[in-house]
Amino acid sequence: MDDLFDDFDDMVAKKHQTEGGVSTPTTPDSAPAASEATREAEFMGEAGLAVTGQSRMEAAFGSGEGDDTAVAQVAKIASDTSVGKIFHQVYRPWNGKLNTRWVRNWAILRYHIYGLFSKGHKPWPVMTKLVLFGVLITSLGDLVLLAVGAASGTEEISRLAGISRGNLYGHVLSFWFRNACTYPIVTALIIGGIISEDRRNGTSALYFSRPVNRRDYAAMKYLSVATILGVVVLFTLFAYYVGAILVNGEGWAYLIDTGLLFLGAFAAGTILVITYTSIGVALSSISQGKFFPAVSFLGLILGTKMVAFLIFWLFESSAIYLISPYDNVAHVGQWMLGLNYTYEHPASWSLVMLLVINAVSLYILSARVSSLEVTRE
């Protein structure tokens, strides 16, 4: 064993003599102290020296030339080596001033709403934009019909499409065509990836790694869906009411007479928007894709309606309509506008059921948002 170490020392001495042209072997202990301090300063970027970034270490056993010798290689100084680069990195946290809480929340809301008509925000599919535009046009169909009747002087058209309890109720809560096709389809397209895409793509980690808490995140997602759906339902109702007054040239007396009816229809539409939004966002929070929330929402709204309708005709009990979110909203809307009920059970039952549906939906939303992933620095 001693002979092996002696041979190793001889080989090291010969190598230094051959490369450096020095007649006597050098060891790390014989190197000048100033040279070592200079190399250390050069490595740390001190003493005004330029940092070259060159490595001062090599692998003890190389891969390539010299492997056949099966002996350890001696470490070289930085000026002799040319392999690898080491950079001295220091993490410096950002100590700037953040925007206020509501500015950050506005950024989330703006990202979803502005994406419908502006670039640089949420890239909504073209089909979604076309469907929304088509629904807006069809929702204003009553106003167009009023304009045609006023232009042609046909009183029958004005009477048919004018402001009345039935027309205000039908604009918001009629099953066919609005709540059978347009409103559920619009809601399904909006809620398809509102939260599920964040869960699938890990975008929630980007939200929560910044000063955005989960309550604000859920609230802004909810408000984004409610705003878009509110434009489709409530804005078109307002445009229809104001447009009908302007087209027919009605005065303040007519506005006072029909104002309470409009407020009742607007309140019923608000309940519809809140209920559809709560159910849709809750379904989106339990999924990781667009298809499941959209299809589940359509199945829940339309499926419960059809099941309740079939059971009602079999057993003649309208209480079964309590399982249908749409029928609960329609029943409460009929009570608000003073229309004849199409249901036999009290309207208070439908109102309580709406509270239960929204409470359960919001609980599911909060529970699922609290389980979204987050990174910690």
Contact 355, 322 (CB under 8 A): no
Q: How far apart are CA 162 and CA 183, in angstroms?
A: 22
- Residue 6, token pair as written in the block: 């002696």
Tell me the two tokens of residue 367.
């529970």
Domain that holds residue 137: 101-370
SS3 call for 344: coil
Task: Point out the domain boundary residue: 28, 45, 69.
Answer: 69
**Would you state the pLDDT for residue 204?**
81
In a domain, 82, yes or no: no
The CA distance from 358 to 208, in Å, is 26
Q: What is the pLDDT of residue 25?
A: 45
Same domain? For 64 and 108 the reply is no
**Residues facing residue 85 across a β-bridge:** 54
Which of 14, 45, 69 corresponds to the end of one domain? 69
Query: Residue 49: inside a domain, yes or no?
Result: yes
In a domain, 96, yes or no: no
* 3-class DSSP state of 54: strand
At 182-204, the pLDDT tens digits run 999 999 999 988 998 888 888 88
Q: Is 89 contained in some domain?
A: no
State the chain's mean pLDDT as an integer.
82
Give the residue among 182, 347, 145, 202 at the shortest CA–CA distance from 264: 347
Domain boundary among 10, 45, 69: 69
Q: How many domains does the chain have?
A: 2
**Can you give the pLDDT at residue 320?**
94
Q: Are residues 13 and 128 in the same domain?
A: no
In 10 A of CB 83, how many CB atoms?
11
* Count of residues making up the chain: 377
Q: Is a pLDDT exceeding 60 seen at residue 243? A: yes
One domain for residues 27 and 122 = no
Which span out of 106-110, 251-255, 272-276 was modeled with the highest average pLDDT?
272-276
Task: Please report the pLDDT score of residue 61 as a whole number.
Answer: 44
As a whole number, mean pLDDT of residues 22-38 equals: 48
Q: Which of 216-246 are b and which e, b meaning 16 or more Cβ less than 10 Å from the residue's Cβ?
A: bbbbbbbbbbbebbbbbbbebbeebbebbbe
- In this structure, the answer to whether residues 179 and 45 fall within a common structural domain is no
Interval 129-187: pLDDT, tens: 999 999 999 999 888 888 888 888 888 888 888 899 999 999 999 998 899 989 999 99
Let me know whether 60 and 135 are in one domain.
no
